[in-house]
Amino acid sequence: MYRAGAHSGVSALWARATRFCTDRRGIAAVEFALIVPLLLIMYFVTMEASQAIETSKKVSRIGSMVADLVTQQQSIVTADLDAIMKIGTSTLQPYNRSTPDIIITAIQVTDETTPKVKVVWSRKLYNGTPSADAAKDSITTVPTALKTKGAFLIRVESSLGYKPIITWSADSAKRLGLITRFNNISMGETYYLRPRRSTTIPCGNC
């Protein structure tokens, strides 16, 4: 009797296990629960990648637009430069999780036997606040192809610390975890243009 009972119990347990393994009820819910996290990850990664690419294009567009506006002037003042940089920042909209930095530098290549590359004037927009940048007559650099005697150039540098939406918070609170390693992706571009309507572009109060 004892052995028969034990055998019966094992058979019943085996039968239950078999029924559990062959039972298809609720399988769709289980599959959904397993797939949803993967689908959500794919969605957010795709969305973030497309936003980052579009924002990078806009950062580049800031540099070209600001350089184009400045080089159309025959002379300029700091108020004009500040206004042009403010216009440049609006190009990023609707992205507003961080603000771009913009540096406009007028550069003169001297006529000396060994030409020097000097700053004529420079203005920057940093954290939304305009101010002077490099000092007049300080030495700077330009690409070799642009280093010709007597050349006057306008250099515009635009940069942005891109903050992915999955790491950003309106209260600027710090978030912990591996994802914080990607909470500030550097984007930037540099443009060099020559004046359009004059040989140089003086700044009256830079």
In this predicted model, what pLDDT tens digit does every residue of 158-184 receive, in sequence order? Answer: 999 998 877 655 555 554 444 555 667
Residue 3 in any domain: the answer is no
Task: Confirm whether 72 is domain-assigned.
Answer: yes
What does the pLDDT look like over 177-192, one tens digit per residue?
445 556 678 999 999 9
Range of the domain at 153: 27-193
Who has greater pLDDT, 96 or 78? Answer: 78
Measured CA to CA, the distance from residue 46 to residue 56 in angstroms comes to 15
pLDDT for 192: 96
Asked whether residue 186 is domain-assigned, the answer is: yes
**How many independent structural domains does the chain possess?**
1
8 Å CB contact between 133 and 105: yes
pTM: 0.76
For the chain, what is the mean pLDDT?
A: 84
User: Looking at the DSSP assignment, which residues form a beta bridge with residue 186?
Assistant: 161
Res 121 pLDDT > 80:
yes
Under 8 Å between Cβ of 164 and 177? no
Residue 139, pLDDT above cutoff 80 = yes
**Structural domain includes residue 14:** no
CA distances from 111 to 125, 145, 193 (A): 31, 16, 19
Q: What's the pLDDT score for residue 132?
A: 94
User: Is residue 157 in a domain?
Assistant: yes
Does residue 39 belong to any structural domain of this protein? Answer: yes
Inside any domain, residue 19: no
Q: Starting at the edge strand that comes first in sequence, how are the strands of the sheet with 129-132 ordered?
A: 129-132, 117-126, 101-109, 152-162, 185-193
187 falls within a domain? yes
